[in-house]
Chain A
Amino acid sequence: DIQMTQSPASLSASLEEIVTITCQASQDIGNYLSWYQQKLGKSPQLLIHSATSLADGVPSRFSGSRSGTQYSLKINRLQVEDTGIYYCLQHYSAPLTFGSGTKLEIK
């Protein structure tokens, strides 16, 4: 199975700050990587697909990047509504696997 190592497990940041969350894949997954935001008591929502493409309706302060087998989600100008848990997902090969999640809180 492909392991997705996500870091950090949690972070606390201030409004308007820039934060970065990373996922390291245990093998090549190409651009078959997506990012999700889950708010408390809600279903996850797609933020980024194909490693770098913004999903419909997602604010442009979210962006995704790739360097080899390391994938990053960057949030510019952090807002209160960005609080939640963020997950990466590889869908290159079955079983599809998620990262362990990053809990983001606003100071």
Chain B
Amino acid sequence: QVQLQQSGAELVKPGTSVKLSCKASGYTFTSNHMNWIKQTTGQGLEWIGIINPGSGGTSYNVKFKGKATLTVDKSSSTAFMQLSSLTPEDSAVYYCARYGNSGFDYWGQGVMVTVSS
């Protein structure tokens, strides 16, 4: 069965970076694009960007360019998102979600990132 297992909650200081992971299993990792989504109470769901695990090609929401960097490691079927220059506004739950069946058909469990000094 398809599973997306995300890394654990992060408490990080302002100005630093954090790298989140999303390990895929149960399907051929390079067959489906992977999305990343931010969820906050105030802003709802925001699409950050998408990566093609086969080619490494990416597309970003302009709002998150310079903030988020998407990469993959095909050998471990893992997608990564690095968030840089963190501020309290980056505190949120972040999800990875597979693009399949004309939608986001599988989601990770989400990871809470808290930016606080």
Contacts and interface: CB of A to CB of B under 8 A. Distances in A.
A32 B44 contact: no
Contact of B107 (A34, A45, A95, A101): A45
Nearest to A96: B47
Interface string A10-54: 000000000000000000000110101000000111101110010
Interface residues of A, number: 24
Interface residue tally on B, bucketed by range: 20 to 34
B103 to A, nearest CB: 4
B95 interface: yes
Contacts of B46: 98
Given A95-B61, A96-B47, A43 B95 contact: yes
A32 B44 CA distance: 20
A90 B115 CA distance: 30
Instruction: Please classify the interface of chain B as helix (H, G, I), strand (E, B), loop, or mixed, using the class held by over half of its residues.
Output: strand
Given A94-B59, A96-B35, A49 B110 contact: no
B95 A50 contact: no
Contact of B44 (A31, A50, A91, A101): A101
B19 interface: no
A87 interface: yes
Contacts of A32: 102
A31 to B, nearest CB: 8
A31 B103 CA distance: 11
A7 interface: no
A55 interface: yes
A98 B45 contact: yes
A89 interface: yes
Interface of B: 35, 44-47, 50, 59, 61-63, 95, 97, 99, 101-105, 107-110
